[in-house]
């Protein structure tokens, strides 16, 4: 009986921590109605052409929903989600590197750099991918630092 109670207590704390982790991810990720990438298939970016995913082919990874164009893409994502999730939680890479701010993106303005997906703001004649390319190395280093500070801040 004591062992059962102990196991129940441990499981309660473990599950509570897991749900907090998912809540924190949703807080930091660029999602609308818990949907990442405005519904675009994360693997389609790596093929060079972003495509909207099928609402019927979806997967929730650590509290964030993704859609896919095919079961094959979903299976590939499941095998290595960290490889295909967007950098900086899907926020504008230029803004994260420049000021550390979460800025919306145009899901069709992107760059694959060192095997990672970076997304950019592109509205009202302001395409931040153009500015990113001017000082990519510096902005990426700053973006990595800013993102790390943001997701690890106690707030």
- What is the per-residue pLDDT across 84-117, written as a single tens digit (0 to 9) for each? 999 999 999 999 999 999 999 999 999 999 999 9
Rounded to the nearest integer, the mean pLDDT of the chain is 87
Query: Stretch 116-135: mean pLDDT, rounded?
Result: 97
Q: Give the CA distances from residue 111 to residues 17, 125, 155, in Å, rounded to whole numbers and listed in that order.
A: 34, 18, 30
Q: Identify whether the C-beta of residue 57 lies closer than 8 Å to the C-beta of residue 20.
A: no
Q: Identify whether the C-beta of residue 42 lies closer than 8 Å to the C-beta of residue 69.
A: no
- What is the per-residue pLDDT across 11-25, written as a single tens digit (0 to 9) for each? 333 333 334 477 777
Q: Give the CA distances from residue 30 to residues 6, 75, 129, in Å, rounded to whole numbers and listed in that order.
A: 38, 23, 18
Q: Report pTM.
A: 0.84
Query: Stretch 39-50: mean pLDDT, rounded?
Result: 97
């Amino acid at each position: 009986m004591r062992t059962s109670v102990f196991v129940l207590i441990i499981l309660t704390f473990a599950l509570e921590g897991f749900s907090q982790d998912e809540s924190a991810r949703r807080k930091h990720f660029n999602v609308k109605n818990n949907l990442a990438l405005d519904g675009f298939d994360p693997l389609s970016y790596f093929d060079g052409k972003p495509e909207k995913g099928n609402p019927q082919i979806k997967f929730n990874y650590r509290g964030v929903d993704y859609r896919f164009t095919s079961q094959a893409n979903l299976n590939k994502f499941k095998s290595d989600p960290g490889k295909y999730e967007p950098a900086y939680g899907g926020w504008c890479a230029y803004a994260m590197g420049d000021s550390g701010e979460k800025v919306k993106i145009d899901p069709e303005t992107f760059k694959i750099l060192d095997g990672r997906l970076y997304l950019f703001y592109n509205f009202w004649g302001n395409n931040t991918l153009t500015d990113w390319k001017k000082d990519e190395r510096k902005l990426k280093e700053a973006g990595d630092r800013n993102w790390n500070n943001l997701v690890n801040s106690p707030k």
